[in-house]
Amino acid sequence: MIIVHGVLLVFKDQRSRALVLMQEMTTASRLEAGCVSYEFYASLTNPCQFLLFQEWDSVDALQDHFQTSHMEIFLEQLPDILDGEIVTRRYEVRQQQGRSPSSDEVNTEAERSPSAAEVSVPKIIH
């Protein structure tokens, strides 16, 4: 599996246009073969900053994504809305072939995270 994450900042006066472009890109990309997930997330601290998170079955599926007409349209319009460069990272996630992880290699969420009694987290009400 290939994971791509990017951070982009848009001009304040282009935020509405950016949201439309991101929605169109998300809708079209999710229909592609090999797309596991494709989403933009807005920052809670900066309304003009967005995170792009994608998951693809393979490098080939991601490469095919770069050749789509909706990617071409998106890239043509980006310069008008971006306030800076997009910073992206790509990760390949794979399991070693022929073996399953041992119990020493597997960490559950409970083993990595403090208990609720140890951490006080404010509730978010929608």
Mean of the per-residue pLDDT values of the chain: 83
Find the DSSP H helices in the chain. Answer: 15-30, 59-66, 69-81, 109-112
- Give the pLDDT confidence score for residue 35 in this predicted structure: 96
Phi and psi dihedrals of 98, rounded to 5? Answer: 90, 0
CB-count exposure of residue 71 (10 Å: 0-12, 13-18, 19+)? middle
Residue 124's SS3 state is coil
47 — alpha (psi -120 to 50), left (phi > 0) or beta? alpha
Q: Domains of the chain: which residue ranges? A: 2-94
- Give the pLDDT confidence score for residue 122 in this predicted structure: 46
Write out pLDDT tens, residues 22-42.
999 999 999 999 999 999 999
Fold of the CATH domain 2-94: Alpha-Beta Plaits (3.30.70)
- Give the pLDDT confidence score for residue 56 in this predicted structure: 96
Q: What is the pTM of this model?
A: 0.71
- Give the pLDDT confidence score for residue 97 in this predicted structure: 73
Residues of the chain with pLDDT under 50: 105-126
d(C-alpha 95, C-alpha 1), whole Å: 10
